[in-house]
């Protein structure tokens, strides 16, 4: 029903920026949230940021003030602008869409931040 493809990951030095993109296709009737999660080796997958219908947003404490989530409804794209990156941001980042009561996930994109 829904397919998500992430892009924009890569290697960046601490203090740098990246913009992740998630291109979505399929039916979006009943969307609750769109967001980004990340998972580092040996850690659980955690919420980074999400945006609700109507535009309200949530951010992890570690992301507040540095990351911005946005969307382009016409293009079915959700973005994560990542600024002032830190080594602890290193992880695989996954796009997520919650539609009604079903979660959809992308394949993930690697973000590596060097010291």
Bigger pLDDT: 1 vs 104: 104
Two tokens, residue 72: 């382009």
CA dist., res. 30 & res. 78, Å (int): 16
How high is the pLDDT of residue 32? 92
How high is the pLDDT of residue 74? 84
- pLDDT, one tens digit per residue, over 69-96 is 999 988 889 999 999 999 999 999 999 9
Reply yes or no on whether the pLDDT at 18 is more than 90: yes
Q: Which residue has the tokens 């996930």?
A: 105
- Vertex 89: Cα angle to 18 and 111 (nearest 5): 50
- pLDDT, one tens digit per residue, over 27-68 is 888 899 999 999 999 999 999 999 998 899 999 999 999 999
CA dist., res. 36 & res. 81, Å (int): 11
How high is the pLDDT of residue 65? 97
Cβ pair 69, 57 in contact under 8 A: yes
């Amino acid at each position: 029903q829904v397919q998500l493809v992430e892009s924009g990951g890569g290697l960046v030095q601490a203090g740098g920026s990246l913009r992740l993109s998630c291109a979505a296709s399929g039916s979006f009737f009943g969307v609750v949230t769109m967001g980004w999660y990340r998972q580092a080796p040996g850690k659980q997958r955690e919420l980074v940021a999400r945006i609700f219908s109507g535009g309200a947003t949530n951010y992890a404490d570690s992301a507040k003030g540095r990351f911005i989530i946005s969307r382009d409804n016409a293009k079915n794209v959700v973005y994560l602008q990542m600024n002032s990156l830190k080594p602890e941001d290193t992880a695989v980042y996954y796009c997520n869409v919650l539609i009604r009561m079903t979660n959809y996930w992308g394949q993930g994109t690697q973000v590596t931040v060097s010291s």
